């Protein structure tokens, strides 16, 4: 019996979601006294890159190399995950709740005949042989406890919820013995155009600077971008701002947008509607800047500044720059 973690690659590299899932899986495996395996699947991934997963408690890697795995193909990855779980003799599998993790986890769970518990935020425990774990519910307004009745269980870990726990190990790599069916490659990504690739990814960012309709128009986003750049933060926005194309849709956070949980979320000129909060309330620290002292966002804020964004943000920028110098 063991634990398998899916060390997802992004552009051929291991990134924060893989390291966070490994941190979670490593702590869970240790708590259950079980060996831990990681699956790395891609094409011609360098050995040094694969071994970086060892920084987060993994000692054994199952590596699957295939020329068509440059891009993510859900049916193939579901099969690869099942084969890895079988080769590792796993009972539990841990995956990042990333775009790809979210897409493949249900397929993999069905193939592997496992219970799926998605969006976990705390370390699972095992009671009377059954995995039990808490996760947020009702768009972050509640917490629920989920009990797995499956022989096997798959957990997806919400981004930034568990954090990175460095625990360096030396890694051994074993090849995964698996041949995907040709039909699983029926739908393949033929071309991908990366947009905003030089920017910090919103789901992985530690700090997010977000703005809403209070900014009045797209021409005023210069101070938001400058604040984000100075803080090393990603930028986000409310839904109406994306709807009227003041900002790109991939920045829209909330119930119908991306759900994030950065260490710091700075909300500027956003009212704090429940649908917006649904996507950001898991942030560790929320800072709100709004000229209306009655704005609902202040109820969810750790720190708040009542003031005009066009006066407060430039002052904040000056202060951040002075502090950095």
* Interaction mask 305-324, ligand FAD, x per CB under 6 A: ---xxx--------------
What tokens appear for 222 in the block? 């210069």
Return d(Cα 79, Cα 107) in angstroms, integer.
9
* Interaction mask 202-221, ligand FAD, x per CB under 6 A: ----------xxx-------
What tokens appear for 71 in the block? 């891009």
What tokens appear for 276 in the block? 């917006």
Return d(Cα 171, Cα 166) in angstroms, integer.
14
Residue that the structure tokens 């739908």 belong to: 187
Site for ligand FAD in 267-306 (CB under 6 A): 269-271, 273, 275-276, 279, 289-292, 295
Q: Give the shortest CB-221-to-ligand FAD separation in angstroms.
A: 13
Q: Give the shortest CB-121-to-ligand FAD separation in angstroms.
A: 20
**Stretches 79-87, 110-118, 219-227, 239-247: which one binds ligand FAD (CB under 6 A)?**
239-247
Cβ-based nearer residue to ligand FAD, 58 or 305: 305
Angle among Cα 235, 276, 157 to the nearest 5 degrees reads 75
In angstroms, how far is CA 71 from the centroid of its own chain?
A: 18
Cβ-based nearer residue to ligand FAD, 39 or 241: 241
Q: Is 59 helix (H, G, I), strand (E, B) or coil?
A: coil
| Residue 243 in contact with ligand FAD, rule: CB under 6 A | no
| Residue 43 in contact with ligand FAD, rule: CB under 6 A | no
| Residue 174 in contact with ligand FAD, rule: CB under 6 A | no
- Pairing state of beta strands 153-157 and 115-120? parallel
In degrees to the nearest 10, what's the CA dihedral of 28, 98, 81, 34?
Answer: -10
Please give the residue ranges that form the binding site for ligand FAD (CB under 6 A). Answer: 212-214, 238-241, 254-257, 269-271, 273, 275-276, 279, 289-292, 295, 308-310
């Amino acid at each position: 019996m063991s634990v398998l973690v899916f060390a997802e690659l992004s552009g051929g590299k291991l990134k924060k979601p893989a390291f966070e899932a490994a941190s979670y899986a490593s702590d869970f495996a240790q708590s259950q006294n079980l060996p831990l395996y990681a699956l790395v699947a891609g094409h011609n991934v360098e050995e040094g890159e694969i071994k970086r997963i060892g920084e987060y408690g993994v000692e054994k890697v199952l590596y699957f190399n295939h020329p068509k795995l440059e891009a993510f193909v859900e049916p193939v990855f579901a099969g690869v995950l099942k084969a890895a779980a079988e080769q590792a003799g796993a009972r539990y599998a841990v995956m990042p709740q990333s775009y790809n993790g979210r897409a493949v986890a249900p397929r993999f769970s069905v193939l592997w005949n496992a219970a799926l518990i998605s969006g976990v935020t705390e370390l699972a425990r095992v009671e009377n042989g059954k995995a039990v774990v808490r996760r947020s519910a009702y768009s972050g307004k509640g917490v629920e406890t989920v009990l797995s009745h499956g022989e096997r269980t798959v957990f997806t870990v919400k981004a930034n919820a568990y954090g990175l726990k460095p625990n360096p190990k030396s890694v051994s790599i074993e090849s995964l013995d698996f041949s995907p069916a040709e039909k699983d490659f029926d739908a393949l990504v033929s071309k991908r155009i990366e947009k905003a690739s030089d920017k910090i990814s919103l789901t992985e960012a530690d700090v997010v600077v977000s703005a809403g309709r209070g900014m009045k128009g797209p021409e005023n986003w210069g101070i938001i971008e400058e604040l984000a750049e100075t803080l090393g933060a990603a930028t986000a926005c409310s839904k109406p701002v994306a709807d009227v194309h003041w900002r790109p849709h991939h920045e829209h956070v909330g119930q119908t947008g991306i759900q994030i949980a950065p260490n710091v979320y700075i909300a500027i000129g956003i009212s704090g509607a429940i649908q917006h909060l649904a996507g950001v309330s898991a942030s560790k620290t929320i800072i709100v800047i709004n000229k209306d002292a009655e704005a609902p966002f202040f109820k969810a804020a750790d720190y708040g500044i009542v003031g005009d964004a066009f006066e407060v943000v430039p002052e904040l920028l000056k202060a951040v720059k002075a502090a950095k110098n």
